[in-house]
Chains A and B, each alone.
Chain A
Amino acid sequence: MQRFWIWLSRYASPPVFYRTAGLWRPWLGWATLLVGGPALIYGLFFAPPDYLQGESYRIIFIHVPSAWVSMFAYTAMAGAGAAALIWHTKLSEIAVVAIAPIGAGFTAITLVTGMLWGRPTWGAYWVWDARLTSELVLLFLYLGVIGLASAYGDARRGARAAALLSLVGLVNLPIIHYSVRWWNTLHQGSTVRMFGESSIHGSMLWALLAAALAAKLYFVWSLLGRLQLRLLSAESEKAWVARELKLEPSDA
């Protein structure tokens, strides 16, 4: 156990993490392309049309993976927030601030593709469906975290406040989700399901899972890049930053 903590604290040190992330990032990028490219091309051109919705269901290969990542990212952000509040590590504070915009981006894509899917399926861009509504509230939660982190003059204090808010949001998220579902059943007798009885075709399921995996890989790729950037600017006074950016060693 102790060896684990030593290992962890080694990787949480900014220069080591920066270098390790730099080693991993190209692999992650290629893996995203290799998994996501074929999945999306298959979904876009080769998957058989759904017998209920016709072609428009092809949006599923974007909508559902980004919805999964949007929720996963919030959990990851709150996890980093907990680490930031407990151990005060710089890396986890930076992670909270770095995850928030990526998660908000995935949430926005989920919402927009949901609307684009909704128009041909339900006949309206926006329907107060339980899942779409929860996703909208999730976007507001992300915006709150981003706003709070950037409102503080001091970046570290802003990051800690954002960490606490993300934890509060994590506790509230299941309550919000449950209450919205309760409200939805109250106001709409029967909800229109996007993919109800039309069970997903086998090859489509594989493409969907591959797209979901690619979205996760992309999330990690983007996160590592943002973490690297933030580490560089947070530690810009340190010698390792000058070395990494191939500047001449600062005159010490």
Chain B
Amino acid sequence: MLEWFESMGHWAFISVSYGLVTLAIIIDWASQRAAKAQLARTMKNQQARRRLRKGN
């Protein structure tokens, strides 16, 4: 596996480097969006539960 990768020459190393950065940026972006959605969901649930307890 590693030998195959290295036999591909310089461009293998270059494309892995650039691909890695792209992947990191996508993960960062997606995780921030997911975290915000998650937060909004939990807060909405909390609010609904509070309203239920009040009975209106």
Chain A residues with CB under 8 Å of chain B are 40, 44, 54-56, 58-59, 62-63, 66, 105, 109, 112-113, 116-117, 119-120, 218, 222, 225-226, 228-229, 232-233, 236, 241-242, 245, 247-248, 250-251
Q: Which residues of B contact A (CB under 8 A)?
A: 6, 10-11, 13-14, 16-18, 20-21, 24-25, 28, 32, 35-36, 39-40, 43-44, 47, 50-51, 54
Name the A residues within 8 Å of B39 (CB-CB). 229, 232-233, 236, 245
Distance from B36 Cβ to chain A, minimum over Cβ atoms (Å): 6
Chain A residues near B14: list those with CB within 8 A. Answer: 44, 55-56, 58-59
Query: Which residues from chain A contact B25 at a C-beta distance below 8 Å?
Result: 218
CA distance A62 to B51 in the complex (A): 51
Q: A55-B10, A119-B13 are in contact. Are A105 and B32 (CB under 8 A)?
A: no
Q: A251's contact among B13, B17, B18, B50, by CB below 8 Å, is which?
A: B50
With a cutoff of 8 Å between Cβ atoms, the chain A residues found around residue B32 in the complex are 222, 225-226, 229
Is there an interface contact between B11 and A105, defined as CB atoms closer than 8 Å? no
Complex CA distance for A56 and B28, rounded to whole angstroms:
27
A-B contact count (CB 8 A): 70
CB pair A247–B44 under 8 Å, yes or no, is yes
Contact A229 B36 (CB under 8 A): yes
In Å, the complex CA distance between A116 and B13 comes to 6
Q: Is the CB of B18 within 8 A of A40?
A: yes
Cross-chain contact A113 with B47 (CB below 8 angstroms): no
In the bound complex, residues from chain A placing their C-beta under 8 Å from that of B17 are 59, 62-63, 112-113, 116-117
Q: List 25 A-B contacts (CB under 8 A).
A: A40-B18, A44-B18, A55-B10, A56-B13, A58-B14, A59-B14, A59-B17, A63-B17, A66-B21, A105-B28, A109-B24, A112-B20, A113-B17, A113-B20, A116-B17, A117-B13, A119-B6, A225-B32, A226-B32, A229-B39, A236-B43, A245-B40, A245-B44, A247-B44, A251-B51
Q: Is the Cβ of A54 less than 8 Å from the Cβ of B10? A: yes
Distance to closest chain A CB from B50 (angstroms): 7
How many whole Å from A68's CB to the nearest CB in chain B? Answer: 14
Most-contacted residue by chain A among B6, B24, B43 (CB, 10 A): B43
Closest to B56 in A: A251
Once the chains bind, are A242 and B43 in contact (CB under 8 Å)? Answer: yes
